[in-house]
Amino acid sequence: MKTLGSLKFRNRFVDSLPADSDGSNHCRQVLEACYSRVKPVRASAPSLIAYSREMAQTLELSTPLEEPETFVEVFSGNRILPGMSPYAACYGGHQFGNWAGQLGDGRAIGLGEVVTSEGQGWELQLKGAGPTPYSRRGDGFAVMRSSVREFLCSEAMFHLGVPTTRALSLINTGDRVVRDMFYSGNPAPEPGAVVCRVAPSFLRFGNFEIFAARGDVDTLQKLVDYTIKAHYPHLGEPSQEVYLEWFKQVCRDTATMIVHWMRVGFVHGVMNTDNMSILGLTIDYGPYGWLEGYDPGWTPNTTDAGRSRYCYGNQPRIALWNLARLAEAIYPLLKEGDILGDILNSYAETSARSYAEMMVEKIGLQQFQGELGEESGDGELISDLQRVMQLAETDMTILFRKLAELPLEKDGAPEELLELLMDAFYEQDDLKSEYKEEWLDWLLRYRTRARQDGTSDEERRMKMNAVNPKYVMRNYIAQLAIDKAEKGDGSLVDEILEVMRHPYDEQPKHEEWAKKRPEWARHRPGCSMLSCSS
């Protein structure tokens, strides 16, 4: 473990790419530059709320317990260590399907890239540490509620096995930040906070789009070449052939990430192209949510409530749409529209195949039987499960854990199987009358299909429980942690983080966090719908 003062930094992004020639920190259009140099704003009375010991270990960094004052000073933004080179990146993006122009790091400030003893680089980024030239009408700060959500979900997703950016620390700034939580004309001061986010890179699709939109092909090529050299060196020196291989890899990584989202019931909520990581990592935890009542059309984002563009069921399709925008952005370097189109088509095929394979794993089958896209075989079994799950409000997480417990090796009344699933339903009476026969029919077909594999109940249970989490970062759980953290108490953040470290395990002491969403949370702000306000 290293002390903070002995950390080694490299700054490949700022050393390799063109900088903003204007050194002032006021909102403006930044041209022919990949970033602007900025400094965090000093927090008045910073204090530690929580930190991730796993991320500290990955960085080979001493914990806050060993250097409490220094840790808080550095990761609140109050102290810049030797070797750090703070900056904010320039990027654009398509937001809700429309080109939004320049966006950029409006409340995120990169500190530098820590290099571990194995040579792995990790970029440290403070979110909520003050304004940058890209803050537009914002103040560059963040409130505690959004910061707790980002901190907890980043780490929860890591332990779930979902590709993600990480979080090192959550710090109370001691300052108040005015926000209108639902853009309803009721702004109010809230506790401010800073999250230290960590990733190999925070590059997004929008970093490339902005230069293509401006016709700045020279800077676009510099950025693409840098990205390949820094993060895809195995592809070789940048060339037209390597650009295509790189785009293929981005498509594959994106498909993998989305399938993991679908597996655990995660809904990002704001899949704008500026929120899509070039490395296929989940990035920018804003108005996200978790499917509780299974509904493919559900979105947690109030801004998207009318169109549901970014709902759970649309995520694979939206990822393809976003990849098409990235293809358009790099087209000036290639002039190979047909090949890019072929790669996008392969994404769609890869995504469909990966989704089917993931779903048969979720229901404990050995492998997918039938043709993809055909309403027969396992495809029909899976689509019918998804249909009956919508007949009555069905908790997705609990249902798949309960399915794993069904005794399918022995004969028995299907009613007994249905009774074992009852904890997954919010209105259990619906399953005892109106929708009973459809569920019984599905369960009989499922039992017949599962027996074909010759898998024992115990083996099937172990396989299913390895891919179906028992604990997920439900919004109401995060909100309870927020309620305490806003009072300066990080104890519940720590408790929930500990539970989320083992999301697939039975944890008898923490059964309360595996239960269905309580009725009081159905419509409470922060527990159901959320906005982008942070």
- State the catalytic residues: 274
Print the SS3 string covering 18-51: CECCCCCCCCCCCCCCCEEECCCCCCCCCEEEEE
**Residue 480: both structure tokens together:** 């309870």
- Please count the CA atoms within 13 angstroms of the CA of 369 that sit on its side-chain side: 13
State the Cα–Cα distance between residues 408 and 447, nearest whole angstrom: 6
Do 157 and 150 meet the contact criterion of CB atoms below 8 Å apart?
no
Bin 112: left if φ > 0, else alpha if -120 < ψ < 50, else beta. Answer: left
**Residue 274: both structure tokens together:** 């500026």
**Cβ atoms within 10 Å, residue 244:** 18
Q: How far is CA 107 from CA 88, 128, 193, 240, 285, in A?
A: 8, 5, 12, 35, 13
Q: Strand, coil or helix: what is 279? A: coil
**Dihedrals φ, ψ of 480, to 5°?**
-65, -40
State the Cα–Cα distance between residues 252 and 280, nearest whole angstrom: 8
What residues pair up with 267 in beta bridges, in sequence order? 289
State the Cα–Cα distance between residues 116 and 120, nearest whole angstrom: 5
Q: What is the DSSP secondary-structure string of 100-162?
A: EEE---SSEEEEEEEE-TTS-EEEEEEESB---TT-TTS-SBEEHHHHHHHHHHHHHHHHHT-
- Please count the CA atoms within 13 angstroms of the CA of 287 that sit on its side-chain side: 25
**Dihedrals φ, ψ of 101, to 5°?**
75, -150
